[in-house]
Structure 1
Amino acid sequence: MNRFRLLTAALCLSVFSASASAQATEPLPDALQQRLLQLSEARQWRHLLHVRDHVFTARTISQNDDDNFFLAEQGKSDFNAEIVAAYRAFLRTGMADNMSAQCHFPARYHWLKQQFPERHFIDQSCSELDEWLAELDAYSLTLIFPASHINSPSSMYGHTLVRMDRKDPRKSKLLSYSVNFAANADPTDNELVFSYKGLAGGYPGVVSVMPYYVKTNEYQHMEYRDVWEYELDFTPAEVRQFARHVWETQDTYFDYYFFDENCSYRLLALLDAASERADLADDFSIKAVPVDTIRSLQKRDLIKRAHYRPSAATSLEYKGQQSSPQVNLAARELVDTEQQIAQLIAGLTPRDQARALELAHAYARYLAIKKKQSSPQLRKRTLAILSARSKIKVSSEFDETPPPPVRDDQGHLTQRARFTAGQSGDDAFAQLSWRIAYHEVMDLPSGFVPGSQIQMGEVDLRYWSDSDELKLQNFRVVDVLSLSHQTFFQKPIAWSVSVGLERFNAPESELYSYLKVGFGRSYLTGLGRFYGLAEGQLLADNQFDEGYQLSFGPRAGWLIQDDQFQHQLELNWQPLATYDNPARRSLSWQLGYRLSDSMQLRAGFERQLMRSQGNNETELSFVWYF
């Protein structure tokens, strides 16, 4: 599809420029000019151009940042000039195959032709477009939501793409084509650079079309993410218009912003351009969390039904839960050791032998993907396991992996306000907090990955009653905690990273900046989730002897995430400190109670100790998700 830029450049330089002295300079009738002016202000025309009101600049311009996306020189901001240029270009006849504006902008041409049923537009030859549309054979649309993947910064909030399904239900969905929008990132950038550029718009975002099985392999197997499929209520005519619009955008680019102009937002904008009924992207001006974009579709009754596809890792764990300890141990030893297969499964019943071999195969795939390559020894062992399984004619009788009781889009809303009254030492305070996104381990857990926390853009404003002062108590730029627990087959690392500004718990405390990073382990038991991290902290401010303090120590906790009650007890001790010697210790406890799907009541206590001075803080909070 890279031909688009070359052909468009040739088109702009030869066809349109050549005609500028003729048709472009000929004045249009007044009535036609007025009609085009009205149409340039139509919502659907602006959707086709991806025009939005920019919140921070107060400008109304197209979000497409590629000059090749426009026919008029000022088409990015002058929508009347763009529609006039399009109207003139679409009237041209005698064009070479694939060289007309109709071929490069088929969605705009289709819409504009509908607005002038009395005018005879002559369709030009577009063989490449026709072949492409025939190959897609798109009849219906399905929104694909690979769930959040806490161990990948680029996938923390989840992701969305659109699959274009064929009319014949007998044809495999895996062979359908999918539409994806993603940052065209530099492969040499590390995760930290990727995160920064993704937040700052440092990458171009591009629309791409590829077979669905390619993405399925990537998300279900390569990244081990569960997938939800939402069948959309778009008519076949709207689906065809969607495909036309994808054609005219896929070789252009939009500046990519991780927080708002991301994959989910751009796909909503593509859907808006396909249907007069849709105005989905208008719901998102500051942030676009993928799960919220699904809610936007639901609000407009554009989702028919949802289907769940478990990841390979989820299926592996569920099969392990159905098996006895002896079967699980045999399955792991079948892969981790070189003992004879027949010897390892000799003491098992035929059904358990089948289970052990199928589990071993799933475990071998997991190891190959985790290491990003399969060793010759592992490949040889995997083939031997499959051969042994083929000789056992008994079914393993594994149940299908059930969907979660609550879908990701059925959890609490991602913005949060928190109203707190408390006592810190001898001073009373009231605090108002607002978080732009997304989830904390003490939030209502239904619909979210257990043990996961991703908070961005949280501000805590605290009013101290005794001093009659309002202060910024905390500003969390990003706060991530992954407490993925150890299982029999998987041994993930628990980790945390937090960046922002905060104060110690006392009214006279000064604000300091911080960076906190930790790594450790998490274990899930019948009593809850227990975790321990080795955490390093860098604090910077002139209140420290050298302007900053670097410390290191343990962070341990006990977490319960029940639908009705939430509980967290955490100890943080930083005994190893440099550039400012006093060690810091804190013990915190929080208890949450669910009032409704959008409300929670919390109580908390924290004791901080530094320089032999202790401070106790208690609080009661009302939490509202919106």
Structure 2
Amino acid sequence: MRSINLALILVLAGAPLWAQATPGELATHPRWKALLHINEGTTWRYQGRSYIDDPEFFLHESGATDAHAELEASIEQLRPEGSEARCDFPARYRFLDRQLDWPDDGGLSHCSDYQEWRRDMPGERVALIFPASYLNSPSSMFGHTLLRIDRGNDEDGVWLSRAINFGATVQGQENSILYVYRGLFGGYPGYFSNVPYMNKIRDYAHLENRDMWEYQLNLTQGERDWLLAHLWELEDIEFDYLFLDENCSFRLLELIHLARPESTLMDDFRFAEVPANTVRSLDRAGFIESVEYRPSKANELDALVDRLSAGEQDLALALARDASVAEKEAFQALAPRSQNLVARAAYAYLRLQNREGARSQEVAQRGLALLRVVNRTPTVSGVDPERPVSPEKGHGTKMLAAGGGMLGDRGFGELQARFSYHDWLDNPEGYLNGAAIEAFDARIRRTEGDDLTLEQLDVVNIKSLAPRNRFRKPVSWFVNGGLDRRLIGSKRHLTRHIQGGPGLAWEMGSVIPYAYAMARAENNSAHDVLVSTAAGARAGVLWYADGFQLGLEAEGLYYHNDDRRYRPSATLNVPVGRNHALRARVERDGGPDRAETEFHLSWRYYFD
């Protein structure tokens, strides 16, 4: 009996050795596949292999395509005590050490560069930062995401935080069209960068006037350690950068997924990844602990200006130019609270006007004088910008619609599909008012007596409305390229076109009037020339009311062959919940000799 018990004890004592995973099992472990950045069907490209081509990232020549071979090479090179490979791949070593129960031989203690880097890196908190969309940069039209690694758990720790960013490396200055083209087809290498977070604050909130959203993640200390160890492994490792899917947001999701590979973060297929979808994915997978909103300096100035009368705005502008205005009768006659608001508006305006480059001594002296005025007046609270709906609460970024209507005296049915992202009259919650970004928006139609036809295909349609006031005078603009059907003479022709132009916009409460100058180049079967050119104007008004959005617009074009076309329209959009809307549109299209009126009603469904 004793011999049986002894044998049983020996068996149980040896159980951990027998329970160790084999290399074949470890090669399919979720964390190992995450460490190698293997695409398990998340995007269309490189399925079943690593997203990384850089040979510096692998220890086996076939490591990018063979996870088992890379595992065996890693075991061989990371197992020896004092191995230099451990210093290059601390996260891999940690994984294999735990899974294979390697002996305690000092681990990474000989990796002085890594140990010094790890001591210098904060690691108490991790937040996803979402600078909102910035239409003046093609790379930031949909917003941007980066990680912030915090030191400490209080607000002051942000000053010592690091920003982890993934972006394309562009050599020299390239125009926006070339940037988008190369970004779509993987023409740029992408790298992770690790910089002081305050540098990014300056770039986004100060220089580009972008609101910022901070999503605190609930990663444990152990999960944060995995993330940081792998971040070291990715230093100077080259990825392909693709604008639609393998972009800044997607790479950060991969990094977060490594910290918690059992999550559902990377389960869904992604034809495209935009920052709003990234935040929604993190929210659904249970990563988000809290949300903070940080308005841009431009929005902070606007919030102050909205509290001032026309006369007080004049004083604020004068005070920003000459701080001695604070000693004059007009300023002294104001109530102390009004003096505070005027002085703060003047200071905010001065800072905004001089946000780029080094400030001159004269500007610095004016700023200091304005701060003295602010400090000697009673502070008025409650003038911060109103917090908007956060981006992840907005409608889905893709859209399908079904509808019908009347074109003249003929009925039609229509289907529409839009790959991305948002138009002026979609539900504005979670989006920037006056910003429209549409890509690959197609409509097909069957009209009574006609075959099925393509009515419209917008490859890209970007419209920026930047309202002006006495303190800020930005220029609005739009660009649109694709196909649309227009009435030319007596027939509706499919035109291939590109059009755009600058404009001006203003804001009056919830109403935004605007006007654009525009130029258009098109190819159609009605004109003898290959390319017809036109110039004209477009003007309208948007009304963002509670419960609906209304757009009124009129467009006129004069062509080089004396052809003239007009297109007035009215569109009403009524959101029905977050991801549904009812839309009605009436439009008259044509010229001085003939025009047709179209009425269109559709149901719209938004999804990711």
**Fold conserved between structures, TM > 0.5:** yes
1:581 aligns with 2:562: yes
- Say which is worse superposed, 321-330 or 179-188, in terms of deviation: 321-330
| Equivalent residue, structure 2, for 1:228 | 213
| Equivalent residue, structure 2, for 1:82 | 70
Match of 2:391 among 408, 429, 439: 408
Distance in 2 (CA, whole Å) between partners of 1:188 and 1:158 is 21
Distance in 2 (CA, whole Å) between partners of 1:59 and 1:384 is 61
- Say which is worse superposed, 531-540 or 122-131, in terms of deviation: 122-131
Q: State the Cα distance separating 1:142 from its structure 2 match.
A: 0.9
Q: Return closer, same or farther for 1:117/1:194 CA change in 2, 3 Å cut-off.
A: same
| Equivalent residue, structure 1, for 2:519 | 536
Distance in 1 (CA, whole Å) between partners of 2:51 and 2:600 is 45
| Equivalent residue, structure 2, for 1:397 | 380
| Equivalent residue, structure 2, for 1:25 | none
Letter in 2 for 1:38: E
| Equivalent residue, structure 2, for 1:475 | 457
Match of 2:351 among 365, 368, 371: 365
Letter in 1 for 2:457: F
Q: Is the 8 Å Cα contact of residues 406 and 447 (structure 1) preserved in structure 2?
A: yes
Deviations 1:132-185 (A, max 9, x none): 111113022111111112332221111111111234537521211121111112
Distance in 1 (CA, whole Å) between partners of 2:264 and 2:522 is 45
Q: Is the 8 Å Cα contact of residues 563 and 594 (structure 1) preserved in structure 2?
A: no
- Say which is worse superposed, 346-355 or 471-480, in terms of deviation: 346-355
Q: Return closer, same or farther for 1:32/1:514 CA change in 2, 3 Å cut-off.
A: farther
| Equivalent residue, structure 2, for 1:117 | 101
1:486 aligns with 2:474: no
Q: Return closer, same or farther for 1:161/1:268 CA change in 2, 3 Å cut-off.
A: same
- Say which is worse superposed, 113-122 or 511-520, in terms of deviation: 113-122
SS in 1 for 2:507: strand
SS in 2 for 1:509: strand
Distance in 2 (CA, whole Å) between partners of 1:396 and 1:488 is 24
Q: Return closer, same or farther for 1:570/1:399 CA change in 2, 3 Å cut-off.
A: same
1:500 aligns with 2:482: yes
Distance in 2 (CA, whole Å) between partners of 1:454 and 1:521 is 18
Q: Return closer, same or farther for 1:32/1:70 CA change in 2, 3 Å cut-off.
A: farther
Q: Is the 8 Å Cα contact of residues 91 and 121 (structure 1) preserved in structure 2?
A: no
SS in 1 for 2:576: strand
1:346 aligns with 2:332: yes
Q: Is the 8 Å Cα contact of residues 20 and 100 (structure 2) preserved in structure 1?
A: no
SS in 1 for 2:337: helix
Letter in 1 for 2:557: Q
| Equivalent residue, structure 2, for 1:246 | 231
SS in 2 for 1:612: coil
Q: Return closer, same or farther for 1:403/1:387 CA change in 2, 3 Å cut-off.
A: closer
Distance in 1 (CA, whole Å) between partners of 2:20 and 2:495 is 60
| Equivalent residue, structure 2, for 1:70 | 58
Letter in 2 for 1:516: Q
Distance in 1 (CA, whole Å) between partners of 2:353 and 2:278 is 34
Q: Is the 8 Å Cα contact of residues 421 and 437 (structure 2) preserved in structure 1?
A: yes
Query: TM-score, structure 1 length as denominator?
Result: 0.88
Letter in 2 for 1:202: G
Q: Return closer, same or farther for 1:373/1:614 CA change in 2, 3 Å cut-off.
A: farther
Deviations 1:61-85 (A, max 9, x none): 2112321111111111111111111
Distance in 2 (CA, whole Å) between partners of 1:568 and 1:497 is 18
Q: Is the 8 Å Cα contact of residues 107 and 248 (structure 1) preserved in structure 2?
A: yes
Query: TM-score, structure 2 length as denominator?
Result: 0.91
Aligned pairs (5 A) from 1:66-465: 66-95=54-83, 100-117=84-101, 123-124=107-108, 125-169=110-154, 171-336=156-321, 340-343=325-328, 345-369=331-355, 374=359, 377-389=362-374, 393-465=376-448
| Equivalent residue, structure 2, for 1:14 | none
Q: Aligned Cα RMSD in Å?
A: 2.4
Q: What fraction of aligned residue pairs are identical, expressed as a percent?
A: 33
1:35 aligns with 2:22: yes
Deviations 1:162-215 (A, max 9, x none): 111234537521211121111112341133332222223221111011121111
Q: State the Cα distance separating 1:415 from its structure 2 match.
A: 0.9
SS in 2 for 1:617: strand
Letter in 2 for 1:475: L
| Equivalent residue, structure 2, for 1:18 | none
| Equivalent residue, structure 2, for 1:592 | 573
Q: State the Cα distance separating 1:562 from its structure 2 match.
A: 2.3
Letter in 2 for 1:603: A
Distance in 1 (CA, whole Å) between partners of 2:230 and 2:136 is 34
| Equivalent residue, structure 2, for 1:17 | none
